[in-house]
Structure 1
């Protein structure tokens, strides 16, 4: 019911997750990232405990492979789960349980991993990885590359049925996500494009919001009535 990617920007060290599904509010249950540590997508009959578990393991300096091994060891009903992880060095690892739904598969690339279940075809994750890698030359920002990758997955067929929710989370060098954009449900239209539009609006203001948190005296105008 889901396709996603986890990724790292080798130049900035930022991590991101992008995900879409026919289920509601997929990003609220499946997307996890921690600054300086890595990113995780935990999907397919979701267990929301697995994302923080994998991040905690990587936060102790262990690799994505070791984090997924711990997920496999201590996760319950692991045969139903699909979990993607990327660590601080850009290494990736994926667990896809044999009871993943429908057509399910996975793909890995440089600083990126993708997986999906109930897919239209088994080429979708590879298309997502290729879309992320191809965007590097002309789309430098991690958020732009995540959107390009998700669009590539849609163009390759996406999920077997219509998708209704999507999200994108990005972390940088502060302990909260610098972007956490979601479309929790849409009846008509494309949730990936709804998130893409939200990113288009949010991207120019991203650094301003970080500065407002760190030092309001240095922040730009808020652009509201009464603000000078």
Structure 2
């Protein structure tokens, strides 16, 4: 019911997750990222404990493959789960249990891993990886390009209704966490539209959190 990718920007060290599904609010249950550590997608009959588990393991120094190997031994009903991970060195790993739903597949390269279930075509994750590797610019732009490549390759077997984009950088909170929790239109394009609005303001929101005295004007009455 889901296709996604986790990725690392080699230039900035940012991590990101992009995801879409026929289920509602997929990003609320399946997307995890931690600045300086990595990014994880936990999907397919979702166990939301697996994302934080994998990030905790990578924060303690395990590589993405090592962390996913531990998740495979500690996770409950792991045969139903898909877990994608990328670490601070760009190493990637994927677990896809044999009970993943429908047509499922995975693909990965350095700095990017993609996977999905109930897919229209087994080539969707590979298209997502290739879309990411062929793209340039801000990590958010590249995540959107990769998801659009997955849609162009067939995406999910049925209509998708929710999507999300999460990016972490040097601070302890996500610098972008955009979601479309339900739509009968294309949720990936809804998130892409939100990203287009949010991207020019991203740095200003971070600066306002760190030191509002040095932040740009709010542009509201009474602001000086």
Per-residue Cα deviation, 1:21-73 (whole angstroms, up to 9, x for no partner): 00000000000000000000000000000000000000001100111011101
Q: TM-score, normalised by structure 1?
A: 0.97
Unaligned runs of 5+ in 1: none
Match of 2:144 in 1: 147
Match of 1:30 in 2: 30
- Number of positions where the alignment pairs a residue of Structure 1 with one of Structure 2: 224
Q: Measure the CA separation in 1 of the matches of 2:12 and 2:78.
A: 33
Q: TM-score, normalised by structure 2?
A: 0.99
Superposition misfits of 4+ residues, deviation over 6 angstroms: none
| Equivalent pair of 1:41/1:83 in contact (CA under 8 Å) | yes
| Equivalent pair of 1:43/1:82 in contact (CA under 8 Å) | yes
Q: Measure the CA separation in 1 of the matches of 2:215 and 2:192.
A: 26
| Equivalent pair of 1:86/1:112 in contact (CA under 8 Å) | yes
Unaligned runs of 5+ in 2: none
Asked whether 1:122 is paired with 2:119, we answer no
Match of 2:206 in 1: 210
Q: 1:200 aligns with which of 180, 183, 196?
A: 196
Match of 1:174 in 2: 171
| Equivalent pair of 1:110/1:133 in contact (CA under 8 Å) | no
Q: Measure the CA separation in 1 of the matches of 2:219 and 2:109.
A: 41
Per-residue Cα deviation, 1:93-117 (whole angstroms, up to 9, x for no partner): 0000000000000001221000000
Asked whether 1:164 is paired with 2:129, we answer no
Aligned-residue Cα RMSD (Å) equals: 0.5
Q: Measure the CA separation in 1 of the matches of 2:213 and 2:179.
A: 30
Per-residue Cα deviation, 1:135-193 (whole angstroms, up to 9, x for no partner): 03xxx100000000000000000000000000000000000000000000002x10000
Q: Measure the CA separation in 2 of the matches of 1:151 and 1:226.
A: 42
